Amino acid sequence: MLKNYELMVVITPKLNEEEAGSLNDSVLALVKEQGGEVIKTDPWGKRLLAYPINKLKEAYYYVNFLRMESTSVKKVKSQININENVIRHMFIAKDE
């Protein structure tokens, strides 16, 4: 069953803005490989973190709105976890 999701990706500030954008695009490519559809991407840019993560005080934020199968979320999460440039990520199932 297709569901709407919101995926926030927090990317290390060690990359420049262009590299962070291409990393977010590669995450979206993973979604598409699993049969998902990207509805919209909202780049928030570089912002301060609420608390330091791995001694980093800021990061690039991207909020992606997706439509995909609930069974595919786990596969995408496992691929995101492998990438060391992604500091944090969060999938949120949205109500229709």
Picking from 62, 69, 60, the residue whose alpha carbon sits closest to that of residue 93 is: 69
DSSP one-letter code for 34: T
Q: How does pLDDT run across 35-75, given as a tens digit for each residue?
A: 999 999 999 999 999 999 999 999 999 999 999 998 999 99
What is the value of pTM for the model shown? 0.91
Residue ranges per domain, the chain? 2-86
- Spatial contact of 35 and 60, defined as CB atoms under 8 Å apart: no
> What amino acid is encoded at 70 in this protein?
S
The HSE-up count of residue 84 (CA atoms within 13 Å, CB side) is 2
Angstrom distance (rounded) from CA 88 to CA 96: 25
DSSP character for 72?
Answer: G
Write down the architecture of domain 2-86 according to CATH: 2-Layer Sandwich (3.30)
pLDDT band per the 50, 70, 90 thresholds, residue 31: very high
